[in-house]
Amino acid sequence: MDDDAIWVRPQLGLDGRVEIPRGRLPEHSIDAHAARQLVHDELMLDGRSRLNLATFVTTWMEPEARELMAECQDRNLVDKDEYPQTAELERRCVAMLGDLWGAPGTAVGTSTTGSSEACMLAGIALQRRWRARGATGRPNLVMGANVQVCWEKFCRYWDVEPRLLRVGDGTTHLTAERAVAACDAQTIGVVAILGSTFDGTYEPVAGIAAALDALRDRGGPDVPMHVDAASGGFIAPFLDPDLVWDFRLARVQSINASGHKYGLVYPGIGWGLWRDEAALPRELVFDVDYLGGSMPTYGLSFSRPGAQVAAQYYTFVRLGREGYRAVGQDCRDVARWLAREIGSIGAFSLLSRGEELPVLAFSVAAPDAGWTVYDVSERLRAHGWIVPAYPMPQGLEDLHVLRIVVRNGFSRDMAGLLVRDLQSVVARLTGDEARAPGARIGFHH
């Protein structure tokens, strides 16, 4: 038998088994049921998504949404002539987001596969506009070292110098002073993050915008901003309505958000919006006519599934502002509760407490504890929880943290179970078995 093969029965009721190679397209067909079972069984080895506290990505949707997505599975989003209504739903979603994010008029924008694609598009637009101002030389992009990897990707793919500014000295993200100090005539833009992936904190978008205004007023370069609101774009408008971070700031030219994070849709959908037509260079929009009709497209890919757009629109009309506020508030309440409970274990110090994104990051309080966040992460896995541990970005790289992302569907009950397991992990690591909840059950003298 080939080591790298799987054995299956080709058809129900048939004797004999066939070998399915793992790394080569099999020569013969098998029965649909057998194939489904084979794939299904292998996928049982994947983690249970609801216990995965590492990801920001939606792992639960209502049955109605799932049904709708199944209905739309054959729709190609790019085929706007054949599926004009799907295109119309996408247009409405863009309009709703433009309104939500304070666009002065009608914002322009598009759905994408996720925030990463939207960030690439926004970066390209900044680069083009910088060149259109007559600039030459190697462009750079200013951002905190805490940016998500998609920005480093953008810089590498499009040959832009990434100016990744150190964090630390009392902050875990970009500050206005550091951003302004890093800008020069070659700077295509500053990226501010509304909610840092590392600890969920908001960057001071309005403060950065004001500092860039002052830089221009002093005769310095006039540097536009992009806000990476992958998570916060669907949290701040509902939970922090007084926080001004969006198109209400004239300096903010574009915003991205992940429909599949707190937009509450299954992966992969994201949104990229520009404050007005002028912010999106016309040459980046292609008019495609080979599918019939003439339709503008702006994206890195061509064909894409339409189901996510239908699901996003469903979620918007289903929840409304009220529903998003309720879901977000619930997540924030659970995150805050967890922060208090984890704080009271005594072994950890909290970097963030779910006050901005419903995210908390915490490190081991005692530097000489003899165990690390990596031990905690590994042991929680034995309880079924996925809680990642990693070093903070440059400037705080000696600080190692655990991070919990509270998503829709992670209830107070589940949070209680997590705290129980975390307490028992800590108790074992510190060798203090007596502190583990339930440790005395079954204890005999």
| Binding interface with ligand PLP (CB under 6 A) | 56, 114-116, 119, 148, 150, 193, 197, 228, 230-231, 258, 270
Query: 79 or 328: whose CB is closer to ligand PLP?
Result: 328
Q: How many CB atoms lie within 10 A of CB 236?
A: 26
Query: 140 or 196: whose CB is closer to ligand PLP?
Result: 196
Residue 416 β-bridge partners: none
Q: How many CB atoms lie within 10 A of CB 297?
A: 14
Provide the minimum distance between the beta carbon of 384 and ligand PLP in the complex, in angstroms, as a whole number.
24
Place of tokens 């165990």: 371
Provide the minimum distance between the beta carbon of 105 and ligand PLP in the complex, in angstroms, as a whole number.
26
Exposure string of 56-68, with b = 16+ CB inside 10 Å and e = fewer, is bbbbebeeebeeb
Provide the minimum distance between the beta carbon of 128 and ligand PLP in the complex, in angstroms, as a whole number.
21
Provide the minimum distance between the beta carbon of 5 and ligand PLP in the complex, in angstroms, as a whole number.
34
Provide the minimum distance between the beta carbon of 257 and ligand PLP in the complex, in angstroms, as a whole number.
8
Query: 112 or 140: whose CB is closer to ligand PLP?
Result: 112
Phi, psi of 353 (to 5 degrees): -130, 30
Q: Rounded to whole angstroms, what are the CA distances from 25 to 19, 21, 31, 38, 274?
A: 12, 7, 16, 15, 44
Instruction: Tell me the DSSP string of 16-58.
Output: S-EEEESSS--SS---HHHHHHHHHHHHTTSPPGGGB-S--S-
Query: 258 or 377: whose CB is closer to ligand PLP?
Result: 258
Provide the minimum distance between the beta carbon of 75 and ligand PLP in the complex, in angstroms, as a whole number.
21
Look at residue 126 and give its three-state secondary structure. Answer: helix
Residue 410, burial from CB neighbour count under 10 angstroms (0-12, 13-18, 19+): buried
Q: What is the CA radius of gyration of the chain?
A: 25
Query: 127 or 148: whose CB is closer to ligand PLP?
Result: 148
Query: 69 or 357: whose CB is closer to ligand PLP?
Result: 357
Provide the minimum distance between the beta carbon of 68 and ligand PLP in the complex, in angstroms, as a whole number.
21
Are the CB atoms for 275 and 253 separated by under 8 Å? yes
Provide the minimum distance between the beta carbon of 304 and ligand PLP in the complex, in angstroms, as a whole number.
14
Taking alpha carbons only, the member of 202, 254, 263, 196 closest to residue 224 is 254
Query: 83 or 262: whose CB is closer to ligand PLP?
Result: 262
Are the CB atoms for 248 and 103 separated by under 8 Å? no
Query: 204 or 421: whose CB is closer to ligand PLP?
Result: 204
Provide the minimum distance between the beta carbon of 193 and ligand PLP in the complex, in angstroms, as a whole number.
5
Q: CA 342 to CA 422: how far, in whole Å? A: 8
Query: 111 or 423: whose CB is closer to ligand PLP?
Result: 111
Q: CA 361 to CA 351: how far, in whole Å? A: 5
Look at residue 435 and give its three-state secondary structure. Answer: helix
